[in-house]
């Protein structure tokens, strides 16, 4: 069985300060980590591998300036990772899906695609379901855990205040919520060797030219960035006045709005 | 109904375009048989977009026993409503809902499609966008229009709303967007608007994901207090701690407190919010009867929103809080619980 | 000249931070307060492979070199000096002696489980009448057939209370003194004749085991002689050389904690209507702390690089420990001053850091001993052999 894990990187939020007054992001420590939800997806894949002896192949969810997070994933326990190379490579989810679909094809197909349900920075969750659409596979979104049972994937999802188990036939796409599982640490020996490019693991990281997988005409992103918008600086100390009931209603509305967002 | 009402209603009998081609479409979320607020918000935004584009607004209503909700979509701004009312659609499942919408949109070729950023929207919008080669902007908190290229721009919250990135899909059509619940504001419901919804003739697909039943024994991993998204904290002036616990339960949050709450025996040492205890960064922090000394306030600096309730108008917590209620928690908290429903 | 950390060391630091945040940080205050040795934490760190960070992979290690070990010490000590001390005693002197001078069989049998974190090590040098002046040790080893019989005892042995493997320095020929008369042994602590007499109650690093050990007819097979008979003193001094460097790295961690804490508090606390950050008295303290920290970092990393490239490092390693312990103590002292009364309370980590930092100037050779080592090296280059 082959499991594809699609993962991306994110600037460690502990290393940045966002100054809303100045409308700027200050990067104190530029350090990228695997998207937390993607890291959970990798952990789910490795647990399935532990239970059923699958091959876990890691592919990137977007263009990467370097292969660092793929090495991280190999250190954690993935069997193979593919780095897509191309000069000035730009892509959005729609482009990536074409590329990933071609890469999965070149790998000889897959039984299960796992990825994070949402990205930490931009909150995007479309990659998983877009993959499901492209491959025409069933999708299970926002899973807390997943295992393979008799040629099907069984996953736990939240349902109201409780949790339900759902099942889809393989092949399928499953997205995993951030914090769903406690991810394992990298293995020390694998970590040192993959970064030093020594030992067996060095061959596990492959570099594929993007244009060998898809035509140049398919590499046009649909989404365009048109700038940043900083919310107005926080206004503190706003006093609610009026009868207790009115005050309570206003406060409740403010809370509910905050909790939805 | 008065004569005036009748007259208005006649004048406002809405009309829609003949056949396919464009339009701003909103796919309705139905919760417990009623249209969800986010759908009405999306319709309000769709109305504004459509007026600027010179286009019509369409609502799509899928579910079981939902037909009578159609008028609400008209009232919120729809010019036309498509309905599939079928017991098989009582519960959301990707495959049947997807089939209906992909057939409908293949026929109608919408210009813009809005979903709520809900379970349904997040499951369907990307799949439809992929099938139709459309662009998708998720979790838009505000929408704007680039009229020249008829492009909808969505502001997407980054790092949970610390700032926004404005995204657009100028080339691809349809333009799919999911809108953040509560972000766009509720539209004016024009009760004089009404219309005749169109029932779609469809063959429903079978769900491809089966629900096996409750996940017996499953417990999600515990989240440490430092990372909890909602915290309700008690202070010396909280009065009745049971009320604080009830408020936390109502908000789905964690109970904590300052050193005073610990002295009172309400909380344990590992629940003390203080630079000498736990430093937190929740989305919502409710301080009930916490005066707010420097050591406490420094520990909640990273909180995104603070509501403070304290009887003393001079309490330092008020300088830090986003929203302040001067009052006795014993009176304010029960009222708040009631308002939260 | 290249001062950037290699990609594997950057990745290693990221991994260590994660392990430390999850496994070490939550217990740091509690183990200090209640004098608990976090053996379970040591096992968890061991399971990640980090307790073999600097040892070759063929002996169960990671192969990340001395630089990797320095990063480990820095990151662990930033959060918990007790755990850092447990780690340091295990890797830096306990296992290190076997790595540096053990034969193939000893490395396979003893180093491998230590590197894998399956067993823990201690380093048995200090006695009540002998520490850095190892020539004064009184523990006696007498040859009896294929074995040596050890009698005597050790004090202030870090990890002594729970270690599985211990290296012991004993007098094998009282007529010869330090050079020729002292031999190093590897012993297993479940052997008959090995006894933990007591655990010390200490001012700082309270989450460590500092044990007094007693050997009563402790029988050690001859194959467990580390290096050659009579060369024990040199062997132990070599381990201490390496240990000094990594104690300097530990002090980077302590100093970083102090600087971070001081900066955070100076940004927050208001005095006379403005944040402490705007007070020159505070700015100067922080500028001093940061400068010394940076100087220490440069010194430690350069020394680690000397070790990893096989160059002489003894003098610099002593400087790492001497300067590092001073920098850390000063940084924590200044950070405590910036925090005022808050820093003095036991609920805030600086108080623990302040007590913990003090040991830096004492263990594995006091600051005075480091100065002897440094002066020795300097004068030797000028043809003078100074007396300690």
C187 and C275: one domain?
no
Same domain? For C101 and C141 the reply is no
Tell me which of A11 and A27 has the higher pLDDT: A11
Are B126 and A130 in contact (CB < 8 Å)? yes
Give me the pLDDT at residue C135, please: 80
Across A25-34, A123-132, C107-116, least confident range: A25-34
For B6, residues 6+ apart whose C-beta sits below 8 A from its C-beta are none
The pLDDT value recorded for residue B21 is 62
Measured between CA atoms, how close is B295 to chain C, in angstroms? 9
Residues C225 and C319 in one domain: no
Q: How far apart are CA C190 and CA C162, in angstroms?
A: 10
The confidence score (pLDDT) of residue C177 equals 84
Whether residue C178 is found in the same domain as residue C308 = no
How would residue A237 be classed by pLDDT, with cut points 50, 70 and 90?
Answer: confident
pLDDT band at B51 (very low <50, low <70, confident <90, very high): very high
Instruction: Report if residue C369 sits inside a domain.
Output: yes
> Can you name the residues that pair with B324 across neighbouring β-strands?
A239, B308
Minimum mean pLDDT among B3-12, B203-212, C204-213: which range? B3-12
Neighbours of chain C (3+ CB pairs under 8 A): A, B
3-state secondary structure of B141: coil
For residue C179, tell me if it sits in a domain. Answer: yes
Looking at the domain assignment, is residue C387 inside a domain? no
- Looking at residue C157, its pLDDT comes to 96
B57-63/B198-199 β-pairing: unpaired
Chain C: residue nearest B272 by CA?
Answer: C347
ipTM of this complex prediction, to 2 decimal places: 0.92
pLDDT of residue A261: 52
Q: Are B89 and B29 within 8 A, CB to CB?
A: no
In the prediction, which pLDDT does B15 show? 58
Is C51 within a domain? yes
| Residues C137 and C262 grouped into a single domain | no
B12-199 and B225-340 have identical folds = yes
- What total number of domains does chain C contain? 3
Give chain B's mean pLDDT: 91
Cβ neighbours of residue A198 under 8 Å, at least 6 residues apart? none
Same domain, C198 and C137: yes
Nearest chain C residue to B269 by CA distance is C347
Cβ distance B251 to A166 less than 8 Å, yes or no, reads no
Do C104 and C148 lie in one domain? The reply is no
Question: Does C86 reside within a domain?
Answer: yes
Distance from CA of B258 to the nearest CA of C (A): 14
Cβ C8–A191 below 8 Å, yes or no?
Answer: yes
Give pLDDT, residue B22.
86
More confident residue, B113 or B186: B113
Residue C298 is predicted with a pLDDT of 96
Final residue of a structural domain among C85, C120, C155: C120
Contact between chains at A71 and C53 (C-beta distance less than 8 A): no
Residues 6+ apart with CB under 8 A from B251: A255, A259, B230, B232, B284, B286, B340
| Residue B16 pLDDT class (50, 70, 90 cuts) | low
Domain boundary among C177, C196, C230: C230
**Which residues 195-254 on chain B approach chain A with CB closer than 8 angstroms?**
208-215, 218, 220-221, 223, 230, 251-252
CATH class of B225-340: alpha beta
8 A C-beta contact, residue B185 and residue B41 = yes
Q: Does C388 reside within a domain? A: no
Structure-token match 């929408």, residue found? B143
Q: Over chain C, what is the mean pLDDT?
A: 95
pLDDT at B2: 55
Q: Kindly identify which residue of chain C lies nearest to residue B224, measuring between CA atoms.
A: C26
Q: Which residues pair with B277 in a beta bridge?
A: none
| CATH number of the domain bearing residue C376 | 1.20.140.10
- CATH number of C18's domain: 1.10.540.10
Please check whether residue B208 touches C, CB under 8 A.
Answer: no
Contacts of B300 in chain C (CB under 8 A): none
Residues 15-74 of A with CB under 8 A from B: 18, 20, 23, 25
pLDDT of residue B1: 47
Asked if C89 and C133 sit in the same domain, the reply is no
pLDDT exceeds cutoff 70 at A158 = yes
Whole-prediction pTM: 0.92
Report the distance separating Cα A228 and Cα A20, nearest Å: 11
Query: Could you say which of A31, A33, A188 has the minimum Cβ distance to residue C62?
Result: A188
Average pLDDT over residues C296-317: 95
Residues 248-307 of chain B whose Cβ lies under 8 A from any Cβ of chain A: 251-252, 283-284, 286, 304-305, 307
What is the pLDDT, as a whole number, of residue C355?
Answer: 96
Average pLDDT (C311-339) is 96
Q: What is the pLDDT of residue C144?
A: 95
Assigned token pair, C203: 């001012």
Residues A163-215 pLDDT 10s? 999 999 999 999 999 999 999 999 999 999 999 999 899 999 999 999 999 99
Mean per-residue pLDDT for B138-142? 94
Taking only the tens place, the pLDDT of each residue in B82-96 is: 999 999 999 999 999
Cβ of residue A243 closer than 8 Å to a chain B Cβ: no
pLDDT value for B5: 56
Task: Find out whether A237 and B318 touch, Cβ atoms under 8 Å.
Answer: yes
What's the pLDDT tens digit per position in B184-215?
988 999 999 999 999 999 999 999 999 999 99
A127 min Cα distance to partner chain C (Å):
27
Closest chain C residue by Cα to residue B300: C268
On whether both C346 and C247 belong to a single domain, the answer is yes
pLDDT at A218 over 70: yes
Q: Is B338 on the interface with A (CB under 8 A)?
A: yes
Quick one: which H or E segment has residue A118? none
Of C6, C12, C52, the CB nearest to A191: C12
Q: What are the tens digits of pLDDT across the range A37-68?
A: 999 999 999 999 999 989 999 999 999 999 99
Residue B19's pLDDT band (cuts 50, 70, 90): very low
pLDDT tens column, C25-46: 999 999 999 999 999 999 999 9
Q: Are residues C112 and C165 located together in one domain of the fold?
A: no
- Collapsing DSSP to helix, strand or coil, A89 comes out as coil
Q: Which domain holds residue C243?
A: 234-381
**Confidence grade of residue A26 (pLDDT, cut at 50, 70, 90):** confident
Chain center to CA of B330: 30
Q: H or E element: which one contains A58?
A: strand A55-60
Min Cα–Cα distance to chain A from C230, Å: 36
- Angle, CA B13 vertex, CA B11 and CA B15 arms, to 5°: 120
B267-273 contact pairs (CB < 8 A, 24+): B267/B234, B270/B225, B271/B225, B273/B231, B273/B233, B273/B299, B273/B300
Residue numbers of C between 25 and 64 with CB closer than 8 Å to A:
48-50, 52-53, 57, 62-64
C127 and C241 share one domain: no
Subunit contact C268:B276, Cβ cutoff 8 A: no
Question: Which CATH number fits the domain that encloses residue C215?
Answer: 2.40.110.10
pLDDT at residue B17, rounded to an integer: 54
Q: Where do the domains of chain B lie?
A: 12-199, 225-340
- Tell me whether strands B163-168 and B151-158 are parallel, antiparallel or unpaired: antiparallel
CATH code linked to domain B12-199: 3.40.50.620
Give the distance from CA B10 to its chain's centroid: 33
Enumerate the residues of chain A whose CB falls inside 8 A of the CB of residue B129: 94, 126, 130
pLDDT tens, C306-315? 999 999 999 9
Last residue of a domain, which of C230, C249, C266? C230
Query: B205 to chain A, minimum CA–CA distance in Å?
Result: 13
For chain A, list the domains and their CATH numbers. 2-218 (3.40.50.620)
Residue C245 lies in a domain: yes
Asked if C90 and C71 sit in the same domain, the reply is yes
pLDDT tops 90 at residue B74: yes
């Amino acid at each position: 069985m082959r499991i594809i894990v699609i993962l991306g990187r994110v600037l460690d939020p502990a290393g940045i300060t966002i100054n809303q007054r100045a409308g700027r992001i200050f990067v104190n420590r530029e350090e990228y980590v695997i998207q937390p939800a993607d890291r959970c997806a990798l952990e789910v894949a490795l647990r399935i591998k532990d239970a059923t002896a699958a091959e876990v192949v890691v592919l990137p969810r977007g263009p990467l300036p370097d292969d660092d997070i793929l090495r991280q994933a190999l250190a954690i326990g993935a069997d193979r990772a593919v780095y897509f190379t191309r000069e000035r490579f730009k892509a959005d989810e729609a482009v990536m899906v074409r590329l990933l679909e071609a890469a999965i094809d070149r790998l000889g197909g897959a039984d299960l695609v796992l990825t994070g349900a949402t990205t930490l920075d931009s909150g995007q969750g479309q990659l998983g379901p877009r993959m499901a659409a492209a491959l025409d596979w069933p999708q299970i979104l926002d899973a807390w855990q997943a295992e393979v049972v008799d040629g099907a994937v069984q996953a736990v999802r939240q349902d109201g205040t409780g949790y339900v188990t759902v099942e889809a036939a393989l092949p399928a796409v499953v997205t995993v919520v951030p914090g769903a599982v406690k991810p394992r640490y990298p293995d020390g020996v694998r970590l040192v060797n993959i970064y030093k490019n020594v030992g067996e693991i060095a061959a596990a990281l492959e570099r594929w030219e993007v244009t060998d997988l898809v035509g140049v005409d398919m590499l046009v992103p649909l989404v365009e960035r048109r700038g940043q918008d900083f919310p107005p600086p926080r206004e503190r100390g706003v006093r609610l006045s009026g009868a207790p009931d009115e005050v309570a209603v206003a406060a409740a509305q403010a809370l509910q709005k905050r909790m939805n967002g | 109904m008065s004569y005036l009402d009748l007259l208005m209603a006649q004048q406002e009998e809405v009309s829609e375009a003949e056949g396919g081609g464009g339009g701003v479409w909103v796919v309705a979320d139905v919760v417990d048989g009623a249209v969800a607020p986010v759908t009405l918000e999306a319709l309000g935004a769709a109305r504004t977009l459509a007026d600027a584009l010179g286009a019509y607004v369409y609502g799509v209503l899928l579910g079981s026993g939902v037909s009578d909700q159609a008028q609400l979509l008209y009232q919120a701004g729809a010019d036309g409503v498509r309905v599939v009312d079928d017991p098989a659609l009582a519960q959301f499942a990707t495959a049947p809902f997807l089939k209906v919408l992909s057939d409908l949109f293949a026929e109608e070729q919408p210009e813009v499609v809005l979903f709520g950023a809900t379970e349904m929207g997040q499951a369907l919008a990307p799949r439809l966008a992929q099938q139709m080669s459309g662009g998708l902007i998720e979790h838009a908190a505000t929408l704007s229009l680039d009229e020249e290229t008829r492009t909808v721009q969505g502001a997407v919250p980054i790092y949970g709303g610390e700032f926004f990135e404005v995204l657009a899909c100028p080339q691809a059509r349809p333009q799919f967007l999911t809108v953040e619940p509560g972000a766009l504001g509720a539209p004016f419901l024009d009760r004089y608007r009404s219309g005749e919804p169109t029932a779609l003739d469809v063959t429903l697909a079978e769900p491809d994901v089966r629900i096996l039943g409750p996940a017996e024994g499953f417990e999600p991993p515990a989240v440490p207090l430092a990372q909890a998204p909602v915290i309700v904290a008690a202070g010396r002036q909280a009065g009745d701690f049971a009320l604080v616990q009830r408020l936390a339960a109502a908000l789905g949050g964690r109970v904590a407190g300052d050193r005073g709450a610990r002295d009172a025996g309400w909380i344990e040492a590992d629940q003390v919010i203080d630079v000498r205890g736990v430093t937190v960064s929740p989305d919502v922090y409710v301080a009930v009867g916490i005066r707010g000394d420097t050591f406490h306030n420094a520990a909640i600096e990273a909180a995104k929103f603070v509501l403070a309730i304290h009887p003393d108008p001079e309490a330092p917590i008020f300088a830090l809080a986003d929203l302040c209620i001067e009052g006795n928690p014993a009176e304010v908290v029960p009222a708040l619980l009631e308002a939260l429903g | 000249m290249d001062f950037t950390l290699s990609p594997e060391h950057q990745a290693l630091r990221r991994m260590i931070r994660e392990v430390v945040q999850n496994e070490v940080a939550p217990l740091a205050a509690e183990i200090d307060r209640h004098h608990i040795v976090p053996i379970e934490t040591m096992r968890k760190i061991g399971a990640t492979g980090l307790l073999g960070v600097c040892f070759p992979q063929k002996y169960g290690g990671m192969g990340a070199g001395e630089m990797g070990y320095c990063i480990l010490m820095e990151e662990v000590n930033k959060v918990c000096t007790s755990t850092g001390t447990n780690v340091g005693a295990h890797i830096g002197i306990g296992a290190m002696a076997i790595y540096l001078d053990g034969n193939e069989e000893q490395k396979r049998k003893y180093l491998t489980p230590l590197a894998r974190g399956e067993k823990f090590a201690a380093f048995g040098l200090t006695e009540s009448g002998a520490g850095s002046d190892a020539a004064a040790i009184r523990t006696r080893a007498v040859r009896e057939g294929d074995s040596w019989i050890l009698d005597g005892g050790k004090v202030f042995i870090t990890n002594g209370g729970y270690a599985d493997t211990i290296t012991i320095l004993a007098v094998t020929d009282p007529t010869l003194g330090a050079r020729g008369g002292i031999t190093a042994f590897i012993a297993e602590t479940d052997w008959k004749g090995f006894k933990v007499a007591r655990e010390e109650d200490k001012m700082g690093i309270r989450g460590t085991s500092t044990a007094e050990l007693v050997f009563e007819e402790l029988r050690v097979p001859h194959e467990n002689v580390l290096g050659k008979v009579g060369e024990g003193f040199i062997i132990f001094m070599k381990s201490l050389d390496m240990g000094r460097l990594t104690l300097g790295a530990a002090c980077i961690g302590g100093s970083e904690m102090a600087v971070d804490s001081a900066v955070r508090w100076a940004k927050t606390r208001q005095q006379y209507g403005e944040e402490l950050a705007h007070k020159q008295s505070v700015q100067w303290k922080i500028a001093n702390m940061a400068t010394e920290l940076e100087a220490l970092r440069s010194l430690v990393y350069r020394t680690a690089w000397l070790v990893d490239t096989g160059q002489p490092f003894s003098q610099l390693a002593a400087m790492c420990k001497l300067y590092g312990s001073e920098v850390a103590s000063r940084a924590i002292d200044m950070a405590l001053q910036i925090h005022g009364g808050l820093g003095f309370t036991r609920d805030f980590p600086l108080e623990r850091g302040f007590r913990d930092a003090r040991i830096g100037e004492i263990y594995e050779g006091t600051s005075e001993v480091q100065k002897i080592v440094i002066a020795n090296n300097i004068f030797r280059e000028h043809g003078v052999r100074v007396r300690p």
